[in-house]
Amino acid sequence: MSVSNNNGRALEAKLVDVLCQRNSNISLLGTTAQDQQRDLTYFSALAQLQQQLFTDFSVKYAGELSVENIKTIERLKDSAAVAGDVTDIRIGYGNNIFKNISLKHNHDACKHQRPAALIKNQLGIQNPTLDKQYRAELKAIENRFKALVLPTDVDEEGNFVFRAVKARVPNSIPDLYRDVCNLVKKYLTNHTTPASIQRYFKFLVGNNDFEKVTLDPNSRLILIKDFSNIKNATSITNIFINPQNGYLVVQFDNNFILNMRLHTASSKFKLTSSLSLKFDSTVDMNNAPIPLKTIPF
């Protein structure tokens, strides 16, 4: 597991720990108790300054949560996000009242989706022929990149690495990213319906009402964004590749704009399998029609 993942788990664990210290009657649901035991060890392994930062954040944010009224807490698995629920921590207040929290440490990505899963998983289009056609075009793009690879483009362990190819052919990675972004753009433009766009938006942003809470360690700010009561998206009003940074920009008819940065999920790759590519998708908060609250701590 990566350091960033461990830090994220440690932050979740510390927040839940602070809430339980303040209200001993809280019930932990599902595997939350086991997750707490595991992830508090990650917290204990952090540098002292990082521990203090996470503690200060948790104490301050707890003041926003009516701790005395909390009945239950559940930490959700990553598999929930795959299904479209971006909730990390679900707080129950009784009478079927819940607060869903998506907790972020020093980043604001809403999804890390893979280009290959666009048709069936992200758009929900159950058309095997279209999916096969799309994947074939994606494979052709990857093969153009692989054709540039030499046997010497390896690290000390003999693994093919992207940086070696880019060192020889500087445009290889930018061209790969541009071609994949253009392919996604083409299918989003030409092969979607209102239902598929609605599904796509909910897949990227989240299909439940939730509060996105971001810890900004540099400014010591808590950014709280309320993603409740969002209007459904049914069409894409504009889609283009930003010439300044290469991001794929998708504008929806509910006034949301998503910036999608394509990158390699691993520094290594194999010639015998597909490349490990991912989008980091973030909501353009300068235009998003959602309330934003900023709290110093």
Looking at the chain, the whole-number percentage of residues with pLDDT higher than 70 is 94
Radius of gyration (C-alpha) of the chain in whole angstroms? 21
Q: What are the sequence ranges of the domains in the chain?
A: 3-105, 115-206+231-288
* Confidence check: pLDDT of 78 > 80: no
User: In sequence order, which residues have a C-beta less than 8 Å from that of residue 192 and are 6 or more positions away?
Assistant: 123, 125, 200, 236
Question: Would you place residue 1 in the very low, low, confident or very high pLDDT band (cuts 50, 70, 90)?
Answer: very low
The answer on pLDDT for 231 being more than 80 is yes
Distance CA 282, CA 276 (A): 20
Nearest to 89 by CA among 177, 26, 162: 26
**Beta bridge partner(s), residue 294:** 223
Inform me whether the pLDDT recorded for 119 exceeds 90.
Answer: yes
CA–centroid distance for 5 within its chain:
12
Structure confidence at residue 227 (pLDDT): 86
Q: Is residue 271 scored above 70 in pLDDT?
A: yes
Positive or negative, the Cα torsion across 44, 48, 49, 55? Answer: positive
What pLDDT score was predicted for residue 28? 98
**Nearest of 250, 207, 199 to residue 230 by alpha carbon:** 207
At 104, the pLDDT band (50, 70, 90 cuts) reads: confident
Residue 91 Cα distances to 17, 76, 183, 280, angstroms = 13, 11, 40, 27
Tell me the per-residue pLDDT of 151-166, one tens digit each, with 9 for 90 and over: 999 999 999 999 999 9
Cα separation, 82 vs 84, whole angstroms = 5
Bigger pLDDT: 49 or 284? Answer: 49
Amino acid at 27: S
97 Cβ contact partners less than 8 Å away, ≥ 6 residues apart: none
Q: What pLDDT sits at residue 110? A: 72
State the sign of the Cα–Cα–Cα–Cα dihedral 23, 27, 28, 29.
Answer: negative
Global confidence as pTM:
0.77
Confidence of residue 82 (pLDDT cuts 50, 70, 90): low
What percent of the chain is predicted at pLDDT more than 90? 79
Tens-digit pLDDT profile for residues 159-196: 999 999 999 999 999 999 999 999 999 999 999 999 99
- Confidence label for 228 from pLDDT (cuts 50, 70 and 90): confident
Question: What contacts 34, CB < 8 A, 6 or more positions away?
Answer: none
Give me the mean pLDDT over the 114-138 stretch: 97
